[in-house]
Structure 1
Amino acid sequence: MTRIDCSTSEATPQTPSALAVSATKQQMQNGAEGMSVPDAVRALAFLYPARSTFELCGIGPRIKKHRLWDNDFAGGKKPIVAGWFSDQEKAAMLAAILDAEARPEGIYVTLNPTSPALLGRADHRLKAGVNRTQDSEMVALCNLLLDADPVRPAGISATEAERTKAREMSRAIYAFLRGLGWPDPLCADSGNGDHLVYKISLANTSENVALIKGILRALAARFDTCH
């Protein structure tokens, strides 16, 4: 069974967005091929207007103390290191070093640009245990994430057959939306499923968040196979 994830946190969805496009989630977790910095820069450029601010974070780094976060201890049940960037190339290069040297479980970016004031927390660097971006700190809603994901118990990776089903759903959604005149999305392999990221341009208001929820629910009603 495959579904569209209808979670609508516009700031920090529980799925990698830009960087998973440049190096799939599986590659980023096991370091098999490493991260392509040019591809990551292109993905970030798709997600964010030039010079806009966004959060980059690593969850569960295997190296708890590292020079990238001033050798502070990244502790807790689920250690997190995060920082805010407006230079997309610097963010991509730092993410590649983070991936290669600290080996986090995942590297994530906010789906939408954040308030530039958040640079005051960690300006073009990483910090251990820093407060994450909140939805209210998004300056706009620029991206709509569609996450085709196999239904499975938490902590269990999807089988190849399940990933194939997710890919088929993603292609069906793409064809349907293209037929309605939607633009081409950024496409990503999330490791367990498929992502489609569509460009939008909305103010960060409760009304527009409700609109996004409605779109996700309508697509889920049409394409989910787990009813």
Structure 2
Amino acid sequence: MAAPIRTSDLIDEKKMISNIRRSWGLFYRNGSVVEIRIFLREAVRSNLWTGYGTTLSGYFDDVNAVTNLVVAIEKSVGPQATYITLNPVDKRLASRSYNRFTAAKRGEGASDKDVSRRAWLMIDFDPIRPEGIAATEAEVQESLERAELVHGELTVRGWPEPVFCFSGNGYHLDYCLDAGNTDLMRDLLRETLLGLQLQFSDKAKKTDLGSTIAEGQIGVKIDAGVFNAARIT
């Protein structure tokens, strides 16, 4: 298994450039168009994007444009988060903001119907904790161990090797697909994730703060809600 792609590598510019190029090469075919969304800490104006707002959106098919702009924005304003669609979108969407970023309003991003094909299945291992709380090192380690367990089980069942990724609060396994974006495929992926969740997730209880687990224990759940085609990560 290749070394995990770690979003924490984005802290260092050289690692950031390497991480972006490596990720692009692993996840996207030549000619694929994907949407990238950047969430700013506050609305500001800049010559790095068009418009004014806290959410930036762009449609890219050029890794050089992605690298140059994402690195420049990271250095300039230190955004809150950067996300990308795992699956490629309809190339016509590029006319909205082609290889550049534009301030976008809520709901203006790519939707499930805009995805051209199902390229990936993401199995996300999320440490169980109150909402808005970063995972501890121990929780991240538990997420890693659960991901490795599921990876081993699926390998025995004949699944191919996944891309192994670290998100900052946990790990996810991304399995390559080559399928249509159909209702049947959506339902199949949802049922697959629900089955894995049932088999490999720890039980949590609901509180006013969200899902949690008994004090002194560490739990991990598989997120069964990431089956939608336009999922960003």
Q: Aligned-pair RMSD on alpha carbons?
A: 1.7
* Higher strand residue share: 2
Name the CA distance, whole Å, in 2 between partners of 1:219 and 1:99.
36
Name the CA distance, whole Å, in 1 between partners of 2:116 and 2:38.
22
Name the CA distance, whole Å, in 2 between partners of 1:183 and 1:99.
34
Q: Does residue 172 in structure 1 map to residue 172 in structure 2?
A: no
Q: Does residue 45 in structure 1 map to residue 20 in structure 2?
A: no
* Alignment check: 8 A CA contact 1:145 1:196 kept: yes
Counterparts of residues 4-43 of structure 1 (less than 5 Å): 22-24=5-7, 26=8, 28=10, 32-34=11-13, 35-43=15-23
Q: Does residue 86 in structure 1 map to residue 61 in structure 2?
A: yes
Corresponding residue for 1:15?
A: none
Name the CA distance, whole Å, in 1 between partners of 2:142 and 2:5.
22
Name the CA distance, whole Å, in 2 between partners of 1:214 and 1:33.
39
Report the AA paired with residue 52 of structure 2.
F
Cα offset, 1:62, TM superposition: 4.7
Q: Which runs of 5+ in 2 are unaligned?
A: 205-233
Runs of 4+ in 1 over 6 A off after TM superposition: none
* Alignment check: 8 A CA contact 2:9 2:19 kept: no
Q: Cα–Cα, structure 1 residues 169 and 23, in superposed 2: closer, same or farther, change >3 Å?
A: closer
Name the CA distance, whole Å, in 2 between partners of 1:69 and 1:181.
45
Q: Larger relative CO (CA 8 A, sep 6+): 1 or 2?
A: 1
* Alignment check: 8 A CA contact 1:23 1:36 kept: no
Cα offset, 1:129, TM superposition: 1.7
TM-score when normalising by structure 2: 0.79
Q: Does residue 117 in structure 1 map to residue 117 in structure 2?
A: no
Report the AA paired with residue 60 of structure 1.
L
Q: Percent identity?
A: 27
* Alignment check: 8 A CA contact 1:143 1:198 kept: yes
Counterparts of residues 66-215 of structure 1 (less than 5 Å): 66-70=46-50, 72-74=51-53, 79-130=54-105, 131-215=108-192
Instruction: Give secondary structure in 1 for the equivalent of 2:31.
Output: coil
Please say which of residues 90-99 and 172-181 is displaced more in the overlay.
90-99
* Alignment check: 8 A CA contact 2:43 2:52 kept: no
Cα offsets for 1:131-177 (capped at 9, x unmatched): 10111000000001111001112110011111111111000011111
Q: Which protein is bigger by CA-based radius of gyration?
A: 2
Report the AA paired with residue 162 of structure 2.
P
Report the AA paired with residue 104 of structure 2.
G
Matched length: 198
Name the CA distance, whole Å, in 2 between partners of 1:214 and 1:39.
32
Instruction: Give secondary structure in 1 for the equivalent of 2:109.
Output: coil
TM-score when normalising by structure 1: 0.81
Q: Cα–Cα, structure 1 residues 60 and 226, in superposed 2: closer, same or farther, change >3 Å?
A: farther
Report the AA paired with residue 68 of structure 1.
L
Report the AA paired with residue 118 of structure 1.
L
Q: Cα–Cα, structure 1 residues 147 and 69, in superposed 2: closer, same or farther, change >3 Å?
A: same
